Chains A and B, each alone.
Chain A
Amino acid sequence: MNFADIQQQASRNWERFQSGETPRILVGAATCGRAAGAMEVIRAFREAQAADPTLLPVEIQEVGCLGMCFAEPLVEIRGPKGDRVLYESVTPAMVPDLVQEHLRQGRPISRNALCRMPDGQQGEIRDEIPLFTDLPMIHHQLRVVVRNCGFIDPSDIDHYIARGGYSGIARAMEMGPDAVIEDVKLSGLRGRGGAGFPTGLKWGFARKAQGDVKYVICNADEGDPGAFMDRSVLEGDPHAVLEGLLIAGYAVGANHGYVYCRAEYPLALERLRAAIDQMRNKGFLGENILGFGFAFDVTIKMGAGAFVCGEETSLMQSIEGRRGMPRSRPPFPANAGLFGKPTNINNVETLAAVSAILEKGGAWYAGIGTEKSKGTKTFSLAGKISRTGLIEVPMGISLRTIIEDIGGGVLDGKGFKAVQTGGPSGGCVSAEHYDLPVDYEHLAQVGSIMGSGGMIVIDEESCMVDVAKYFLGFTENESCGKCVPCRMGTQHLLRLLTGITGGQGSEDDLETIRKIGDTMKKASLCGLGQTAPNPALTTLDAFMDEYLAHIRDHKCPAGVCKDLISFSIDPEACTGCMACAKVCPVEAITGTKKQPHAIDPQTCIRCGACRQACKFGAVRVE
């Protein structure tokens, strides 16, 4: 079958899927949806269907993540009149009503309706249900990498093809490898794994490298705590990534690709395996792809739980069956990489963008973003923010727009303190830079990095010294130990920060942190050690007063560091609702209903559960 036939068949399948002929239930069943209970909801729909198959000729389908994780589980229902409504926070208990009202009567329920989906017919949809694209979280977004996530069935290759998929590789093979690399250069795409190296340039090096055997690798070892963009793309649209890898292989002259994906992402691995099988069936892998004489195959390698394996030289060691320890460069992987052969490594998001770029052209992509940071970037919004989830925005959008407009502001109306970008390699951007345009250059200017795109919002109730200690605890644990600056540096920094949060720090420690941090930046072998001090250094710059409060006054202003705080209940504000007593894990709270409670300081373990539970602000922390 040639590509035009494949496309035609896919379009027919897609149109059937899109048409309102069959009522349909689409459940967001990526990992976050599942964590919120999506599978129980699917079970409830299936039971309702089994109970009365005649009345419910619906197809129940799993889709990927739309990015609005805060509202999970998300269920889209296409009723008998073609109207498509997305419901939020769906529970099995809501299923009978949804079945009765929307699926049978064609009357969408306003309660729990988040929005109307695009392309839906109006039917009897009430006006009070907003359109998907008008939702504040969606309005500022521009979807390139996650173009299909949540809209297509990720286990059906036809859905991907019908929405433009694999026309990128078809176009690439008509253009020839050199023109492909030029087009990627023209797009201005920079590596989305974090460092931001121009992708086209990187491909050019691998293409020029001498060697009969070359490799391309997709780095899907997303180990940054707080980042889940790659997982969402792999779960929601695996073909977008695999097509990008195929294009990379074609451009650099590699006939074999690897996807190195962490074992902690079982659903992503499942989707990848299924997608690769479908590619084989359609002829997108094998000896003579689409009749252009290009041969390519893909192997999945599962990570085994080592953060440092996200670093390219470590990752290659791991594929080779060794300890994932980095080595010094040069030689660069482009010349001597996997098994000593020329190798090109790109991140998941980079490759998903590549398939879109080859489909629509480099000039199109270059029209998005800023002068030096082209295109879009996905971010995972997490931490103390109202609307957590996955977003994709044009480069250059302001931090304020991301947090306030898209994310709905800080959780529970608390004050914004900082946002941690780039995971353990990144830094904290404080409130004074709230209007900063988000791109590679501006984030670097304030001492942080783009990183892979994790954004953890930190509010006034979070302690910055504790946040720094948290990241150092992570990097100390994940340092591979090969080079001394990283191995010893992370240990020392963690010890100093632990001392400060425990009330045993001195002002000299701050100078020591800077010295060790600077040494690590200059002397560490790989990116892990070079960036590990960033969380400590950036918080030291922006939140010196908080460090000093711990050191001089033995106080944690945010009320987090356990050794420096004590809890009490303000009898004036306490209504005696018992909420705090119910959550106290050690029964340190006493009192009767409607009477002010009290905390026994001897029993209290200062976990803060009561403070979180109290709706009246009666729990005081000092």
Chain B
Amino acid sequence: MTTTEDLTTSLRTILEKYDTSRDNLIPLLQDIQEHLDYLAPEAVSLVAEHLDLSENDVYGVATFYAQFRFHPPGRHRIKICQGTACHVRGGGMVLDAISRKIGIVPGETTPDGNISLERVACFGSCALPPVMVVDDTVYGRMTPRKSEKLIEDLE
């Protein structure tokens, strides 16, 4: 379990890499999210302090972009593409199947913290639809059945 102190120390190490100009805001948030998997409230205050911005301002930017999360994600992250090519080739069916299987809707994490489900606008793998991403692996040519099997293998 990470204590607040540990968290602050590790965040300070990240902060030190960036000077205090405002155009570092998004890269800094990205770096922190890479490290923590989400933007903890403590992280937001430290970033605000470092760049001499209000927390309000930092949240204002962070909430605008789809990339940033304010809650820890599940141990496994499933992203299902809903781009046009995936849409016309059954991406919705894959999303519905997974949603039914694990009992959560996109944007949620299973109560045991194992899996979080996200829908994404487009991955750019439009030639192999429907596409789903489990953690960092991209799977093309999915079907509801194939996607359910992939989920079953997730510990």
A-to-B contact residues, CB < 8 Å: 31-32, 34-36, 69-70, 72, 222-228, 231, 263-266, 301-307, 318-324, 339, 380-384, 388-390, 420, 423, 454, 456, 458, 462, 467, 470-471, 474, 477-478, 480, 582-583, 585-586, 605, 607-609, 612
A-contact 0/1 string along B33-57, CB 8 Å cutoff: 0000000000000000001000000
Q: In the docked arrangement, what's the CA distance between A223 and B144, Å?
A: 26
- How far apart sit A456 and B88, CA to CA, in the bound complex (Å)? 9
Q: Does B121 contact A390, Cβ atoms closer than 8 Å? A: no
In whole Å, how far is B93's beta carbon from the nearest beta carbon of chain A?
Answer: 5
Tell whether, in the assembled complex, residue B125 and residue A228 are in contact, meaning their CB atoms are under 8 Å apart. Answer: yes
B84, A31: Cβ atoms closer than 8 Å: no
B124/A454 in contact, CB under 8 A: no
Could you say which residues of chain A place their CB within 8 Å of the CB of B126?
225-228, 380, 382, 388, 454, 456
Assess whether A607 is in contact with B93, with CB atoms less than 8 Å apart.
yes
CB distance from A475 to the nearest CB of B (A): 11
Chain B residue at smallest Cβ distance from A535: B84
Per the bound structure, the CA–CA distance linking A467 and B131 in Å amounts to 18
Closest to B145 in A: A583
CB contacts (< 8 Å) of A304 on chain B: these are 26, 29-30, 65-68
Contact present for A69 and B128 (CB under 8 Å): yes
With a cutoff of 8 Å between Cβ atoms, the chain A residues found around residue B140 in the complex are 32, 35-36, 72
Q: What residues on A are CB-neighbors of B60 within 8 Å? A: 323
**What separation, in Å, do the CA atoms of A456 and B85 have in the docked complex?**
6
Please tell me which one of the listed residues B64, B88, B121, B143 contacts residue A383 in the complex, with CB atoms under 8 A apart. B88
Sample of 22 A–B contacts (CB below 8 Å): A32-B125, A34-B138, A35-B131, A36-B141, A69-B127, A70-B127, A72-B127, A72-B128, A223-B122, A225-B82, A225-B83, A226-B126, A302-B26, A305-B67, A306-B64, A320-B23, A321-B61, A383-B84, A471-B84, A477-B121, A583-B143, A607-B144
Give residues of chain B (61-84) contacting chain A, Cβ–Cβ below 8 Å: 61, 64-68, 82-84
Q: Which residues of the partner chain B approach A31 to less than 8 Å between Cβ atoms? A: 123-125, 138
Q: Are A264 and B88 within 8 A (Cβ)?
A: no
Contacts of A612 on B, CB cut-off 8 Å?
Answer: 90
CA distance A70 to B85 in the complex (A): 13
B97 within 8 A of A: yes
| Chain B: minimal CB distance from A617 (Å) | 18
Residue of B with least CB distance to A560: B88
Residue in B26, B90, B131 whose CB lies within 8 Å of A321: B26
* Nearest residue, chain B, Cβ from A381: B127
| Shortest distance from the beta carbon of A611 to any chain B beta carbon, whole Å | 11
Given known A-B contacts A226-B85, A302-B27, A458-B88, A32 and B61 have beta carbons under 8 A apart: no
Closest CB of chain A to B86's CB: distance in Å?
Answer: 8
Asked if A390 meets B127 with Cβ closer than 8 Å, knowing A36-B141, A263-B67, A323-B61, the reply is: yes
Contacts of B24 in A (CB 8 A): 321
Residue of B nearest to A268 (CB): B124
Contacts of B138 in A (CB 8 A): 31, 34-35
Chain A residues with Cβ below 8 Å from B29 are 304
Give the distance in Å from the alpha carbon of A609 to the alpha carbon of B89 in the complex: 11
